[in-house]
Chain A
Amino acid sequence: MLTKLFLRFIVRDLWRNKIRTGLTLLGIGLGVAILLAINLANHTALSTFQDSIDRVSGKTNLEVRPKTVADMDEALLQELTWLWTLPGENGENISEAHYTPVLEETAVWPGQDKDKNQTHEVIQVMGVDMLADTAFRSYDWQADGKPDSFLTVFEADHAYIGEAMANRYGLESGSTFELFVNDRKVKLTVSGLLSGNGIGGAYGGSLVLMDLSTAQDTFNRAGRITRIDFKVPEKQIPTIMDRLTTQLPDTLAVQRPARRGAQVNKMLSAYQQNLTTLSFISLLVGMFLIYNTMSISVIRRRPEVGILRALGISTRSVFLLFLFEAGLLGILGTLIGMVGGVVLAKGAVKAVSTTIQALYVAQPVSGLNVDPTLMGLAFIFGVGLTIVAALVPIWEAAAVSPAEAARRASYESKMQHLSKKLLWIGLGVGVLAYIASLQPPVEFTMGDYSSNQMPLFGYLSALLIILAGTLVIPSVLQVLLPLLANLLKRTLGHEARLSALSLQGAIGRTSVAVASLMIGIAMMVSLAMMIGSFRETVVSWVNDTLRADLWIEPISRTNNKQTGRLDLSIAKVIAEVPGVAAVDPFLEFPIEFEGDRANLGVGNFDVIANFGNLQFIDGEATTDVFDRVKTQRGLVVTESFALKHHVNKGDTLTLDTPSGPVGFPVGGVYYDYSSELGYIVMPRPLYLEYFDDNSASNLAVFLTPQANSQTVRRTIFERLKNNENSKDVLLNIQTNRELKKEVMVIFDNTFAITYALHAIAIVVAMLAVMNSLFALVMESRREFGILKYLGAGHQQIKRMVMVQAGMLGLLGNITGMTIGFLLALLLIYVINRQSFGWTIQLFMPWGFLIQSFILVMATAILSGLIPARLAARIPAPEVVRAE
């Protein structure tokens, strides 16, 4: 019985209103798709890292790696011999402890893959002791990839590679290939192909595995290693960890390999959270679409519900009927969304991995991990939220009494009374939103790792702002619509006034339509303002701060800003080129500070003071700060670092150096937007006093005023080529303009996903406009019928509908931009600051605001076209008869 009723009453109705049903499904689908795509991409990135860590660690259950230095001296191995004679619990000799040195590096693929696509893929390179490594890691060979002799890998320039990489670049055993390594190109020979099982599957197979000897030669790092892997009896780990921690310098970390996974996780958390939150906004708009559709569907069918009730259908059955409708929409929409999500996720993975490689970890992410849990969660979220969004209208429907249903206006008259109450509640919620926005970030502790900050109250505030906006809309409309009515009467005539009044008469439906428009537009506007402001802030920072005329980096940093060094001797060659006023060899590398990833930078402060510029947050001049830093033997930190680690100017920052922990006074905190992980920057002479690492990752070159940067660049290339030591050096030399452009390209890449979300927000907002209009016009059949009966012409009716559409667009614009502005303030001053720790100056993207205003109006009016035609065709007698 209920099934039959469901088919006739619900399914048939949905089918008849194909366009609206379709728009609703599309809305839910987009919301779910975005949420799923972002989460799948994030999950793929994290699971790739975790999987790589597992494969690379193998049986390692303890590791030593650099914390505040770039690498370690291999002589350290000699100090670990006590492990072989470690007494066991009963005093017996235990020699089950094993350890092995590892050198991990990255290189860049120098050109085309086998399908001639240009690529600069980051390739992970690992140097291990090939004689001992099978005890630590699992080696599995591709069918024809097993080396004939295990000795060939010890020959110079020989390496094993992952099967996936071999396939991508058309390599086989015996092939030679080239890689960009630091500032050179090296030629390697494949001596074996590792299958995807075991170590060969790490980093998605983009892996080169060498003997330690070959790796040290290839990367020019004789005597250096980046990790020591240990395999020790599990129950002795605490003892061994303690002893290692005591014995080894503080510059090294002694930890379980799993910890690296947690660190990567944590490092990426702010970035990923931000994306997830943004993706939730689409779903929120989708929810509103559902609310909108269901509300209108319920209001429209009040008389029918009344008849059903009069025929003896119970309240519960009515509730179930509408619940099924919501459920059906939810399930269909979510399924569409899940398919779309997987499709979109492929693009999202690419975008996420580009950003992660540019800003966080120099590790490739590829493939797509379609995690069943995430798919299941997306389904539950999609369907669940749809039903939640539909609950209020469903209750509304179930509450219809047989008598009440006959009176059409009952709902609207109820709304008239309610709107004042809603206004007060809305204002109250607004106050709560404001209070929430003032709260500090919530600190989380993840296991034994250091705490993590999340702007939870910021997110709450955003939701409250939207809720408040929704609640006050009826009252706002009560004020605005009469004003509009008068305004329109004077400009567009009586039909226009009538349209406005008709909207006011149906204040409930109008509010729902305007609210969904408002949310869509608010999302669009706030994102645009946030991105625009951020971009403008970065542009002005770039212009103020990036003063170097030429920026030189090793070729291996092409696609990977984390690693890659320069041969410092070329700085001398460059300094002698005519037109060069100064060269600042800058060194930067990732370090661990208080358990978090950060960056250590080393620069020539005299050069920066004379030629460059930094913006300190208290406005102090760079030269003054640097003078103080010099006399106090201090350093400077970036704003994001300062905020993350609660460091202020004048504090003492303790760094673990090879000669023990040393406190350095913080001379100043400056604006920097290059890494949310933050930088600690030290003057090179001070750095060299404590650290034994006189190298550079890039060179900032300042020219004399007369010099031409293009000419100087050419001369530098020529001189390097003519110098025996540097003739093979491969560098990227960018002029100031090119560098600035590249910074903005990186910025735009980072925001690629946000831009995509933004575009989708616009689409969803437009869907909301169309959906609301269709609904409204369809519901105004009665009025149009009467008007026609009273003698209104086709054109007049059409015009009325178009005016209504335009008015909705306008109201949506007004409310949406207001709420959007508030959300933008929240994003800029609370959420972004708490997540990433940087100050963004508010810039109004006027151009975009005007464009989006026009776009919304145009969409609204265009969406009015079909309903207008329909309305004009409404046969008058039929409608009036029903009256």
Chain B
Amino acid sequence: MQKPLYLLICSLLILIVPLVHAAPFQQALPGYPYQFPKDHASHNNFKTEWWYYTGHLKTDAGKNYGYELTFFRSNPGIKNLPTKTNWALNNIYFAHFAVSDESGKKFFHTQKLGRGHSKMDAGLFGAETDKYHVWTQNWQATLDKDTHHLAAATPEFGINLDLTPAKPLVIHGKNGVSQKASCKGCASHYYSYSRLNTHGTLHINGKSHPVTGQSWMDHEFGSNQLTDEQTGWDWFSIQLDNNMELMLYILRQKDGGADPNSGGTLINANGKSRYVPLTEFNVIPIDEWKSPRSGGTYPMGWKINLPEENINLTITPAFPNQELHTQIPNGITYWEGACRVTGTVQGKKITGQAYVEMTGYAEQFRQDI
């Protein structure tokens, strides 16, 4: 699915441009013939696209760090662009980068945003269409055979990681499309690497640490946006120590209920996966946390049950303050953080790690004032 992130992008675009004409863009339709590795690259016929990495890293000293590095491409759909220049605003690229120091309970985050250039292939912002390479200035993601290479750095924190899939990729949805709203064509093409073995370097506060760990990667592209009914979403990517993964999302509606298109995917140890509809799981918040910066109140900690699979999990954030604030060009605030997992699968005790994303809490709050 990865609907939630898609919604994030779309809502960002709602903020950016109120009227977007979907017509010129290619639609995400059933029967899309995936071709790898080409489909890792950018699909500029589609309006919106992102490459999304989260992961859990451990230093030699045993300290835990979470990271998020996401590259977005978004065509704002301006109809009347200048024609002679190489700078016409066909695509805006941006990246969000965050590191969670779990023991220090410190959250680092920043973003880069810029435009593409039709001739220059390096140095600015862009994504290649024939092979996987997306970059925002010196932050980038590339693919060398099977290995994803990630690099992002700020004076305070940075990563330089190699990610190798431990399990095959999973294509979400049915017939190559992930339907995300009831309207026709409201869909996207979406796949994940739910478990990538990760090693490399983490820079934090002027020091470099060799790290190892596991990551999750999503890639999604589509051209339609969501309805006005949704106010935000909660999204979970859970990696269990028994080599299972679970991804769930709940689209929150204005009336407080969950959109019926909410759902998820359960991936077994052998790589087989199945769609989990909203009817098959419960998510119950345990506690809440009020952000001192945005004023938004977020749920904090969840009980997740899948009765049919006999899965009972407790998700606990590594620490509460993992809220991202992006200012340019139009600010969006959301929570995206590393979490610990405990619980049982088929009655057996299990632990694991997760990343949770929550949007619409701070904005909702803002609307209330």
Contacts and interface: CB of A to CB of B under 8 A. Distances in A.
B120 A213 contact: no
Given A78-B120, A81-B122, A150-B329, A95 B153 contact: yes
A93 B155 CA distance: 6
A710 interface: no
B330 A213 contact: no
Interface string A89-112: 010111110000000000000000
B89 interface: yes
A807 B294 CA distance: 90
Nearest to A149: B17
B137 A84 contact: yes
Contacts of B88: 154, 213
Contact of A216 (B87, B113, B330): B87
Contact of A155 (B18, B80, B154, B203): B80
A844 interface: no
Contacts of A80: 123
Contacts of A75: 119-120
Contact of A151 (B78, B84, B155): B78
Contacts of A132: 113-115
Interface stretch (A217-225, A530-538, A554-562, A657-665): A217-225
B86 A223 contact: yes
Nearest to B77: A151
Nearest to A216: B85
Interface string B58-101: 00000000000000000010111111111111001000000000
Which 8 pairs from chain A and chain B are nearest by CB? A217-B82, A213-B87, A84-B138, A78-B123, A216-B85, A154-B89, A213-B85, A222-B84
A132 B88 CA distance: 14
A71 interface: no
A697 B199 CA distance: 60
A304 interface: no
B84 A217 contact: yes
Contacts of A440: none
Nearest to A218: B82
Contact of B329 (A94, A131, A216): A131
Interface of B: 16-18, 76, 78-89, 92, 113-115, 119-120, 122-124, 137-138, 153-155, 158, 203, 206, 328-330
Contact of B81 (A74, A155, A222, A223): A155
Contacts of B203: 92-93
A109 B353 CA distance: 64
A94 B203 CA distance: 12
Contact of B76 (A74, A93, A94, A151): A151
Contacts of A93: 153-155, 158, 203
A152 to B, nearest CB: 8
Q: Do most interface residues of chain B lie in helix, strand or loop, or is the interface mixed?
A: loop
A150 B16 CA distance: 7
A211 B76 contact: no
Contacts of A92: 155, 203, 206
A96 B83 CA distance: 33
Contacts of A771: none
Contacts of A413: none
Contacts of A156: 80-83
A211 B85 CA distance: 11
B78 A154 contact: yes
A428 interface: no
Contact of A222 (B86, B137, B158): B86
A167 interface: no
Nearest to B154: A95
Interface in A724-755: none
A131 B18 contact: no
Contact of B85 (A79, A131, A134, A222): A222
28 contacts: A74-B86, A75-B119, A81-B137, A81-B138, A84-B137, A90-B206, A93-B153, A93-B155, A129-B114, A131-B329, A134-B329, A149-B16, A150-B329, A151-B78, A154-B78, A154-B88, A155-B80, A155-B81, A156-B83, A212-B85, A214-B82, A216-B84, A217-B82, A217-B85, A222-B85, A222-B86, A223-B85, A223-B86
Given A94-B155, A213-B82, 20 more contacts: A78-B124, A80-B123, A81-B137, A81-B138, A92-B155, A93-B154, A95-B137, A95-B153, A129-B114, A132-B113, A149-B16, A150-B330, A154-B76, A154-B78, A157-B82, A213-B81, A213-B85, A216-B84, A216-B86, A222-B85
A217 B120 CA distance: 18
Nearest to A220: B84
A122 to B, nearest CB: 24
Nearest to A212: B87
A186 to B, nearest CB: 12
Nearest to B83: A217
Contacts of B120: 74-75, 77-78
Contacts of A79: 123
B155 to A, nearest CB: 5
A176 interface: no
A275 to B, nearest CB: 43
A658 B328 CA distance: 37
B84 A134 contact: no
A578 interface: no
A85 B138 contact: yes
A146 to B, nearest CB: 13
A95 B138 CA distance: 9
A170 interface: no
A376 interface: no
Contacts of A154: 76, 78, 81, 88-89
Interface string A758-775: 000000000000000000
A88 interface: yes
Contacts of B124: 77-78
B321 to A, nearest CB: 24
A213 B89 contact: yes
A132 B328 CA distance: 8
A75 B117 CA distance: 10
A135 B327 CA distance: 11
A782 B84 CA distance: 90
Contacts of A157: 82
A211 B82 CA distance: 10
B286 to A, nearest CB: 38
A87 to B, nearest CB: 11
A84 B139 CA distance: 9
B87 A211 contact: yes
A129 B84 contact: no
A278 B266 CA distance: 89
